Structure 1
Amino acid sequence: MSATGTLRPVEPRRKAIFLDRDGTLIVERNYLSDPAAVELERGVVAGLTALQRAGWLLVMITNQSGIARGFFSEAQARRVNEEVLDQLAAQGVVLQGIYMCPHGPADECDCRKPAPGMLIAAAETFAIDLAQSVVIGDKRSDVEAAISVGALGVLVLTGHGCHDRAWAIEHGYPITETIATAARLLDPPSVDAHPQQ
């Protein structure tokens, strides 16, 4: 094989924190469609500020089956996402990307967590090293999405986290009270020795 042209140094792939929305970034409200009801979860600003400072890329990944169920429109869901973005930005926290699955549990898609579609799409867009990345969420599906791409899954006990706590303990996955305590777990930021590998 031969090649011509100017050789350029390969850009190192980045590590990212993938964050669930409802029950993780914001207080869980069943099928939330009103931006006015968005409230950041406890520990979110402190935790994400620390992770951002440590060099992690922050990306939101959210299942929104309420769209498929007809509870609200995709436009309404996007407005809620924008409100989350705005509230975090007001505190100096920047989400680099937002990925949303609008499908229901019965739909055949590759993006609804625990399927890895949103993680893979973000990795391609932002040159993310999934093996050195972390998924933080309040459900088993978040941790399983992490496992499917070789990332670290961390269960937070906000939102629905308590329901899947026993499962996470049984399988040896990290459990933290909030995103702030998750940030302390990842400082120094290394996921070289996580239990699912």
Structure 2
Amino acid sequence: MLPVKRRELVLPTHSSEKKLCVAFFDADNTLRETHSKKRSPHGRHDVLIYQHAADKLRALSEAGWLLVIVSNQAGIGLGYISEAEVEDAMQETITQFASCGAVFGYYDFAEKYDENRKPGTEMAWRLERKLHQVKRKIDWQQSFMVGDAAWKRGKDLQPDGAPGDDHSDSDRLFAANIALKHPGFAFFHPRDFFGRQKIL
């Protein structure tokens, strides 16, 4: 069973634990790219998932982890893409991964420049509140974020001292902001978490 709309929570079927490990993922250029070569897919037919990510996602899913997508989609507010297109693309993304055995139980996106937008943490706290309503908690020390917006070009240095080459640092700072409240919450770049990104 998958969420049928944004912010609908479906708990992992492989876990009855009261405390859940949560794996947060960015969407674009972390889990998927587009047929059109646009930044974000415009509707379900534009979605091209990273097949090489499926094995690791499936292993987490089978181990009872809650897989979550949190995505900045400011193009909605700016009029570049419709909310319906973003919603359709998210549904297609989780459906394609589910067909590989990787089940996402929740997704959210930030369409404005407000507290929801990463590196703001409201998307994480909203999920935490929803889990609290069903008497579940997040095991923050075991949980983590994976995203390609890590070390911003012209601003950040990567851990090895090399200049940053990412378009933004919002995913890494999202994780860092969560870690201020929950020490131990980790961040991974997709090239480290999944390996080299390519379409198989």
| TM-score normalised per structure 2 | 0.68
Provide the identity percentage: 28
Equivalent in 115, 126, 131 of residue 110 of structure 1: 115
| Structure 1 position 73 matched with structure 2 position 82 | yes
- Any stretches of 5+ residues in structure 2 without a counterpart? 1-16, 132-136, 151-169, 180-184
Report what 1:24 is aligned to: 30
Name the CA distance, whole Å, in 1 between partners of 2:196 and 2:85. Answer: 26
Equivalent in 135, 144, 154 of residue 134 of structure 1: 144
- Any stretches of 5+ residues in structure 1 without a counterpart? 1-10, 158-174, 181-197
Map 1:52-91; keep pairs closer than 5 Å. 52-91=61-100
1:143 touches 1:152 (CA, 8 Å); kept in 2?
A: no
Map 1:40-189; keep pairs closer than 5 Å. 40-103=49-112, 107=113, 109-126=114-131, 127-140=137-150, 141-150=170-179, 151-157=185-191, 175-178=192-195
Specify whether residues 176 and 45 from structure 1 end up closer, same or farther in structure 2 by C-alpha distance, changes over 3 A only.
closer
User: Which whole-Å deviations, capped at 9, do the CAs of 1:55-106 have from their partners, x for residues lacking one?
Assistant: 2210111110110110111111100101101111211221110111111xxx
Which 4+ runs in 1 deviate beyond 4 A? none
Name the CA distance, whole Å, in 1 between partners of 2:143 and 2:194. Answer: 20
Name the CA distance, whole Å, in 2 between partners of 1:15 and 1:177. Answer: 18
CA RMSD of aligned residues (A): 2.0
Name the CA distance, whole Å, in 2 between partners of 1:176 and 1:48. Answer: 10
SS state at 2:20 partner: coil
Name the CA distance, whole Å, in 1 between partners of 2:77 and 2:100. Answer: 32
Name the CA distance, whole Å, in 2 between partners of 1:110 and 1:54. Answer: 32
Counterpart of 1:144 in structure 2: which amino acid?
L
Q: Counting helix residues as a fraction of each chain, which structure ranks higher?
A: 1
Name the CA distance, whole Å, in 2 between partners of 1:23 and 1:118. Answer: 19
Name the CA distance, whole Å, in 2 between partners of 1:112 and 1:62. Answer: 8
Larger radius of gyration: 1
| TM-score normalised per structure 1 | 0.69
Counterpart of 2:32 in structure 1: which amino acid?
I
Cα displacement (A) at 1:137: 0.7
Cα displacement (A) at 1:179: 8.9
